[in-house]
Structure 1
Amino acid sequence: MSEQRKPAEEYVVIRHRPGYRLRRTAILLVFTVVAAVVGYAAGLAQGGFRFSSAEESNQVLENEVEKLRDDYRKARQQLINLERGQAIDEQALNQARKTIVDLETRIVSLQSDLTFYKNIMAPSETSKGLQVDSFSLVRARNQDSYDFKLVLTQVGNNKSYISGVVAVNVIGLRDEEKEVIALRDLSEDIADLGVKFRFRYFQDVEGSLKLPEQFEPLEIQVVAQAEGKKSSQAERTFNWDDLTEN
């Protein structure tokens, strides 16, 4: 009786790639978190938080902050796990770290916006009514030109609109003598000495300005005057060096 022949054993050769699973995990982590941030940015592009109700804006901001914090915690844990692994792809690890930094920056920005809305709706007793909230400057490509943004707020009583005019002056020196220049004379975006405003919660005044030759700016003075039943005045002076130090 002939012996039955056993079928030949087959072997499958699989290429050994150290760190492949860790690299794949890192890349998936990066794409997941980036997708969350991109989704948030898309929401901003469609209108951001400039809603008609500050209460709605406040709630949206709180939800976004909590979501980003949750993404941040998950990303941090994933990063710790990846760093403990061996043969991790350095590029994927660096990208994961960069994503963590981006999330931290976004959270700080959202917390700042959240504080802004909370201050409008629940102010202290000493800061109610018309307020000059902030003035910012960003240097343009032309060294003597700047993009500016003025923010006015109505703090506390937001049930009705507040209206009036706001004047902005740049105070400085020319030929060692003090000189006051109205924003209208420095910016093509401003036509009048007093810029009209009307809002319930806040209003932005934006544009660009160009300094004249041999003029050394020292301060920016903002005076806002509300008219009608809510007649009041708010004034604030900003140091030029503080605005341009970054």
Structure 2
Amino acid sequence: MNEERKPAEEYVVIRHRPGYRFRRTAILLVFTIVAAVAGYATGLAQGGFRFSSVEASNEVLEDELSALRDNYTKARQQVINLERGRAIDEQALNQARTSIVELETRIASLKSDLTFYKNIMAPSETSKGLQVDSFTLAPDRQTGGFDFKLVLTQVGNNKSYIAGLVAVNVIGRRDEEKEVIALRDLSGEIEDLGVKFRFRYFQDVEGTLALPEGFEPLEVQVVAQAEGKKSSQAERTFDWDDLTEN
């Protein structure tokens, strides 16, 4: 019986070179270092040009920034000037408005005075002689009372004086009962029941009054009595709410 012949095993013979791997590694390392140095030198050269370019760009940017700062400063100054101008304009406008209001108030006052004098000098046929022209009240914050002003006029014939007495009463309620209080009992400036008057055109009677506690005023009654040749009487009643609504 023939046995199957096995192929002979092959062997590769490698020449043994002591230090070969070390030299090869060293050569590769040297080439790597040389390549790195060359690349660094090239990059440095190119980088120098880039740096110069960046430096130039930086100068341009600095110039632009400086110009922008100047423009910003100018613009801000313009805004400040406009704001100041607007403030001045607003102040002038407010002053003008105040002056207009004062003028309108003065005109209204003059018109009222003109009407007042016209009524005295050129009255209608139904209103001549002694007249109770007006009675006004204004709150007095210091005393808590009221400042009053009564105006008497002589309408029509003003060639001679008219004289007499005028009485003022405040009509109201206290404890659900009607009560009439003379001005003398409400005002320190009035001493008598009747206030004397003597004038040709008009006369004012002014003072302050204070209401007693618990008294509810409803009306103010004014009665003027002229004496002598021009003897006559004028009477007028004013609603308290109308006098104090303002």
TM over 0.5: yes
- Aligned partners of 1:196, 1:96: CA distance in 2, in Å? 45
SS at match of 2:111: helix
- Aligned partners of 2:151, 2:87: CA distance in 1, in Å? 51
Letter in 2 for 1:221: Q
SS at match of 1:96: helix
Q: Which residue of the partner structure matches residue 215 of structure 2?
A: 215
- Aligned partners of 1:224, 1:108: CA distance in 2, in Å? 28
Letter in 1 for 2:159: K
- Aligned partners of 2:128, 2:228: CA distance in 1, in Å? 17
TM-score calculated relative to the size of structure 1: 0.64
> After superposition, where does 1:112-131 map in structure 2 within 5 Å?
112-131=112-131
Whether 1:181 aligns to 2:205 is no
Q: Which residue of the partner structure matches residue 145 of structure 2?
A: 145
Q: Which residue of the partner structure matches residue 44 of structure 1?
A: none
- Aligned partners of 2:87, 2:235: CA distance in 1, in Å? 61
Higher fraction of helix: 2
- Aligned partners of 1:192, 1:145: CA distance in 2, in Å? 20
Q: Which residue of the partner structure matches residue 81 of structure 1?
A: none
- Aligned partners of 1:238, 1:194: CA distance in 2, in Å? 18
Percent identical pairs in the alignment equals 81
Q: Which residue of the partner structure matches residue 194 of structure 1?
A: 194
Question: 1:18: Cα distance to partner?
Answer: 6.7
Q: What whole-Å deviation, never above 9, does each CA across 1:118-153 have from its counterpart, x for those lacking one?
A: 110000000000000000000101574101000000
Whether 1:241 aligns to 2:241 is yes
- Aligned partners of 2:146, 2:209: CA distance in 1, in Å? 5
SS at match of 1:152: strand
Q: Which residue of the partner structure matches residue 12 of structure 2?
A: none
Name the CA shift for 1:188/1:93 in 2 (closer, same or farther; >3 Å).
same
TM-score calculated relative to the size of structure 2: 0.64
Question: 1:88: Cα distance to partner?
Answer: 7.2
- Aligned partners of 2:214, 2:239: CA distance in 1, in Å? 19
- Aligned partners of 1:232, 1:206: CA distance in 2, in Å? 23
Letter in 2 for 1:191: E
Question: 1:98: Cα distance to partner?
Answer: 2.1
Name the CA shift for 1:87/1:195 in 2 (closer, same or farther; >3 Å).
closer
Q: Does the aligned pair in 2 maintain the 1:131–1:154 contact within 8 Å?
A: yes
SS at match of 2:102: helix
Q: Does the aligned pair in 2 maintain the 1:169–1:180 contact within 8 Å?
A: yes
Q: Which residue of the partner structure matches residue 163 of structure 1?
A: 163
Name the CA shift for 1:91/1:190 in 2 (closer, same or farther; >3 Å).
same
Letter in 1 for 2:97: R
Query: Which ranges of structure 2 fall in alignment gaps of 5 or more residues?
Result: 1-76
- Aligned partners of 2:210, 2:244: CA distance in 1, in Å? 14
**Bigger radius of gyration among the two:** 2
- Aligned partners of 2:184, 2:146: CA distance in 1, in Å? 14
- Aligned partners of 1:87, 1:227: CA distance in 2, in Å? 63
Q: Which residue of the partner structure matches residue 52 of structure 1?
A: none
SS at match of 1:89: helix
